[in-house]
Amino acid sequence: MRRELEFHKPGPADESFARGHRGGVISMHRALTHFRLGPMNLAASVALLLSFSWIWVLSLPSLCRFWRGCLVIGLQQLPLHGSLEIAQHRFHAHHLDIPYLRIYSVIPDLWTWTLACAITVLLFAATFWLPRTMVPLIYLTRGILLVHASSLFYFALWPMNFRHTPDSYMEALVESNIGLITVVPLLFALTYYIFDFGLWKKVLLTALTMTHLALFLPFQVVLQALVLQRTVLFMPILYIVFGMPLNVLLIIAFYSWGMTWPFREMQTAY
């Protein structure tokens, strides 16, 4: 038994797991050193989750009226050819009037398709001239262009079979953004509140993220409506690249920014 215990005693080979390829010691990540899921931290996370969710639900009708006013201004001041529509959703005794823009569906003509195809090919060819230090940008650009190329391919063969309309897309864009903002407190409760940043930093980051997404929504809707009123050729790239994925990236950006804030020095977590 003594020999077996001595055999499992950590040696130099075991210490190598904590060292880098240059021999330096790999220290624990600073976020893990501040991960304290104690009773107070857990209670504070649940309280923040419930508080922000309650505030969001109460303020949602007022936000819908604010978004409706922004869309009306967009229709009046911008070259938008559409109308304002209201999608009514009822939940027992409560109802929610969600505004969106009704845009007429336009199938791309030969000139529009040819111009879009030429620009896509030229941009894809230009990525081969970019320096190798810009590899992430190169592959991101190619991925976006391939999404648009699939749209060009579809409308070249089956233009009349495209069943999606800008109206349904606009309505789904607003509703999906509302759903995404609704789950922001839950996402932060699972990924940010568990670290010891202090109560006010958690409140501030959540409020900034939800406020930014709420203010960004009408601008996103109006900008995409300006593009879609030209032709539905751009609907796939708007949906796959500049729709929900863009809003998710905004949440990730705020979360990454919040993770750079200094941790609290106190030992107790809230």
Dihedral sign, Cα of residue 180, residue 185, residue 190, residue 193: positive
pLDDT of residue 128: 93
Residue 11 counted as domain residue = no
262 and 178 housed in the same domain: yes
Report pLDDT digits (tens) over 85-119.
998 887 766 788 999 999 888 888 899 999 999 99
Separation CA 63–CA 55 (nearest Å): 12
Residue 26 counted as domain residue = no
Sorting pLDDT into bands at 50, 70 and 90, what band is 15? low
pLDDT of residue 127: 93
Report pLDDT digits (tens) over 203-251.
999 999 999 999 999 999 999 999 999 899 999 999 999 999 999 999 9
Separation CA 222–CA 70 (nearest Å): 9
- 148, exposed or middle or buried, with CB in 10 Å at 0-12, 13-18, 19+? buried
213 and 269 housed in the same domain: yes
Give the number of other CB atoms < 10 A from CB of residue 177. 21
Sorting pLDDT into bands at 50, 70 and 90, what band is 269? very low
Question: CA-based angle 164:168:169, to the nearest 5?
Answer: 75
Separation CA 201–CA 137 (nearest Å): 32
Whether residue 37 contacts residue 195, with contact meaning beta carbons closer than 8 Å, is answered with no
146 residue type, one letter? L
Instruction: Say which DSSP state 128 is in.
Output: G
175 and 247 housed in the same domain: yes
**pLDDT cut 90: percent of the chain above it:** 60
Sorting pLDDT into bands at 50, 70 and 90, what band is 153? very high
Domain count, the chain: 2
Nearest to 208 by CA among 244, 250, 245: 250
For the chain, strand residue ranges (E) read: 82-91, 94-103
Can you give the residue range of the structural domain that contains 137?
Answer: 110-160
Residue 199 counted as domain residue = yes
pLDDT of residue 122: 96
Residue 250 counted as domain residue = yes
Residue 16 counted as domain residue = no
pLDDT of residue 82: 86
204 and 120 housed in the same domain: no
133 and 265 housed in the same domain: no
pLDDT of residue 1: 44
Residue 20 counted as domain residue = no
